[in-house]
Structure 1
């Protein structure tokens, strides 16, 4: 039985995911209560790490914040964590599930790559980055949602995280460029499809841009399909929420398509009505 303090700690984490990712919250809130709390705590760690690297801070401050978070994670690994809601909640998660600490350190490596951003030159570099910032999250979640087969599903979890990160990139091309001065589209793909950074700056949705965008989208969809091929190996009580998270997130790609591929000046998302449709469809096949 959790104490009131523990309940408050998980509520703190829940509020982070509820306010920062409606699609993830919609899907994972359908997990059993204890598992949902574990996901909220994991998400909160990743969001706090992301805020260190992407917040409105100077370059020096970003590095300082990430180093501080790593020091706190080092203490957590030694079971000497500081007295904060995040770490108390994560301690409960590590007590309840067969967790590994390395993916949490990998997540910080990925955020450090963002804080000291270098444009990827190849798809390989982009997917390597995607592992650190998102594939690592898949590995964090495995002990919670695939308690009996976690070791066999590592590749699938990395596929899912990579697909979701590619989706984020394809959704946020304009936002990343104009607000963060970052281009995640690989340089060699820009060259291959003859799409110049000047066109990106002007918001030109050309045939070349659409072809480039679709190449990455098809790769993401392949990874989603690869992941879903393994869904029967996840815990029975987690299959529907996990499938829902996949289908809602991949729905972002269709949202961009339906908006004429304008991810340069518009924010694309899956509507609440569409999320409900996906949920009903998945539940009917369960």
Structure 2
């Protein structure tokens, strides 16, 4: 490939990744070019299948979902095979496939992130109930720990002359798990109103926590709108769970600090700081925190990028 064609593939991946406007995206922009390329290739691949499930399949009426379920599961299988380098045909555009081949598939990242996310997407498509916290953790292993593992890997791996090679003393997932789950729980708090309004199928909260708060999943959007007293109870339970993962995640950050470059650690610590600040904002009045979160998040992102631009 020419340099221009290669650059075009990564620009294509950046455009897909940019649709989400995620905090992770802003942190990745602080990284050196080789790490950015790895990030945008992998994130675009993950974004495509996640959007196909959440924004397309799960938004259809029940009869359409029933009719299309087998096809959607086959699409997830094909996506996983493409991401693992075992198939050419599938839902990934050729630009993303080439970018993946250039970075991820040449690395020693391994199969875990792709198999994990595929398992979580299958669970969504099959519309399996999330009964308790163990179900949540099982789902989160693919839905959030898998992408977090990719991010930790690309921060720490040695780009080398031809491909990334892991140089962490432990598997990347051991550093990523608690940080990923903490950030995911903050996402759930932040997006509770929006997700419930769109569809209760997008609400990934265990039934046991909803029942403890006196709430019903199919009436969650109404409960948020009417400021049902059960919503702050639910938020407090989620914050308690998140706090435990934050405590362990901070230990992971400390273990990672001597293993990462200065800019890489700055990007990771800055990303976690955004989520910690949002987490603290939800500690008092949840509804006030919900209203304040969008402006606060924009400000935190700007602060991170401005600080990263300084010498």
TM-score interval for Structure 1 and Structure 2 normalised by the shorter chain: 0.7 to 0.9
1:129-164 CA-to-partner distances (Å, cap 9, x unmatched) read 111111111222333112221634422212122222
Aligned to 2:125: 115
Contact 1:156–1:226 under 8 Å retained in 2: no
Cα separation, 1, equivalents of 2:48 and 2:240: 30
Cα separation, 1, equivalents of 2:121 and 2:292: 23
Contact 1:9–1:88 under 8 Å retained in 2: yes
User: How do 1:90-101 residues align onto structure 2 when only pairs under 5 Å count?
Assistant: 90-94=100-104, 97-101=107-111
1:199 to 1:110, Cα distance in 2 relative to 1, 3 A? closer
1:113 to 1:213, Cα distance in 2 relative to 1, 3 A? same
Correspondence for 2:173 among 154, 159, 164: 154
Asked if 1:42 is matched to 2:42, the reply is yes
Deviation at 1:169, TM superposition (A): 1.8
Deviation at 1:255, TM superposition (A): 5.0
SS at match of 2:31: coil
Correspondence for 1:70 among 64, 77, 82: 77
1:61 to 1:3, Cα distance in 2 relative to 1, 3 A? farther
Asked if 1:23 is matched to 2:37, the reply is no
Aligned to 2:209: 189
Aligned to 2:242: 220
Range that drifts further, 33-42 or 82-91 = 82-91
1:188 to 1:3, Cα distance in 2 relative to 1, 3 A? same
Contact 2:78–2:87 under 8 Å retained in 1: no
Contact 1:173–1:264 under 8 Å retained in 2: no
Cα separation, 2, equivalents of 1:108 and 1:206: 35
Aligned to 1:165: 184
Correspondence for 1:137 among 141, 144, 147: 147
Cα separation, 1, equivalents of 2:19 and 2:220: 33
Aligned to 2:277: 251
Deviation at 1:240, TM superposition (A): 0.8
Asked if 1:8 is matched to 2:8, the reply is yes
Cα separation, 2, equivalents of 1:265 and 1:247: 18
Contact 2:9–2:98 under 8 Å retained in 1: yes
SS at match of 1:134: helix
CA RMSD of aligned residues (A): 3.1
Cα separation, 2, equivalents of 1:63 and 1:256: 40
Contact 2:84–2:105 under 8 Å retained in 1: no
SS at match of 1:230: helix
Cα separation, 1, equivalents of 2:169 and 2:73: 28
Asked if 1:262 is matched to 2:287, the reply is yes
SS at match of 1:238: helix
- Normalized against structure 2, the TM-score is what? 0.78
Cα separation, 2, equivalents of 1:276 and 1:254: 19
- Normalized against structure 1, the TM-score is what? 0.84
1:281 to 1:32, Cα distance in 2 relative to 1, 3 A? closer
1:7 to 1:77, Cα distance in 2 relative to 1, 3 A? same
1:139 to 1:118, Cα distance in 2 relative to 1, 3 A? same
Aligned pair count reads 283
